Amino acid sequence: MSTTTTSPLRTTPGTHPAPSHLRLVSTHLDITATHDEADLAAAKAAPALAPHAVTAASAAERIIESTGISIDQGELKRGAWAKRALDLFGSICGLIALSPVLAIIALIVKLDSRGPIFFRQTRVGLNGTEFSIIKFRTMRVGAEKQVDELMALNEGAGPLFKIKEDPRITRVGGVLRKLSLDELPQLFNVLGGSMSLVGPRPGLPREVEQYEPHAHGRLLVSPGITGLWQVSGRSDLEWSEGLRLDLHYVENRSLALDIKVLARTVPMVLGSRGAY
């Protein structure tokens, strides 16, 4: 894993993406990175660029340029209406059909431990835009403040922070995580447009800051509740394996692929493989 640096591609207020001097060629599931020492030396000596407005289009273009991913903005827009229609249909139907389940889970979470029913957390989505993700709370209040002191127990690959037997998880939270029921409120994120039913899982800001240049290709599409990584092993996969699946999705996404991933999600969730 590379040295932690501030991500040049996250578009938060007051920050502006800077051009990368790393070239990467990504061909579906084969990722090869090449570094030009002269370019890197020039980058260190170059003065800071003047601030400029960052639009969604320019952010996407900078991500494409810095990663070398084989896609253009025209391809990204193609089929977007169909995907959004699927997201709206799926999220509305899901919220209606699962409303009794959501109500029961909310009650159990409230009775199980002190704290709010829902957990909101800042994540990085499409083109590096930050948004608030919604989940059922599965940890004790104040769990995020304990990350540093638990870092020695981290079992996550790459920039991910994961602990199989996380001491912060509540009794009910463990069951919800095993069955992925804590993710159901993200249907509201899908309905609102900050997420999609299918796509790479949204990373935390601290994780995105540790991304190597090619990993930013994950940000070229809306993050999803499920995705190729999730139906192929979830936390059982190494970071590099999951990343390749995510980039493969970005370069080959289609309505048909989304439907296949959704169909594979149900048995994957029931089997609880890689869930913790």
* Per-residue confidence (pLDDT) for residue 73, from 0 to 100: 64
Distances (CA, A) of 258 to 219, 227, 255: 17, 8, 5
pLDDT above 80 (res 2) = no
Residue-wise pLDDT tens digits, 62-71? 776 666 676 6
d(CA 1, CA 57): 29
| Averaged pLDDT score across all residues of the chain | 78
Q: Which runs of E-coded beta strand occur in 2-69?
A: 22-27, 30-35
Could you report the per-residue pLDDT of 194-222, keeping only the tens digit for each? Answer: 999 999 999 999 999 999 988 999 999 99
Q: CA–CA separation, 248 vs 162, rounded Å?
A: 24
How far apart CA 43 and CA 45 sit, in angstroms, is: 5
| Separation CA 144–CA 139 (nearest Å) | 9
Summarize the confidence of residues 129-152 as an average pLDDT.
89
Structure tokens given for 102: 């959501």
> What confidence score (pLDDT) does residue 267 get?
87
pLDDT on residue 156: 65
User: Model pTM?
Assistant: 0.74
Cα separation, 37 vs 22, in Å, equals 9
How many whole angstroms separate alpha carbon 87 and alpha carbon 109? 27
Q: Decide which of 6 and 126 is more confident.
A: 126
Cα–Cα distance list, 160 to 123, 189, 266 (Å): 13, 22, 24
Average pLDDT over residues 143-163: 77
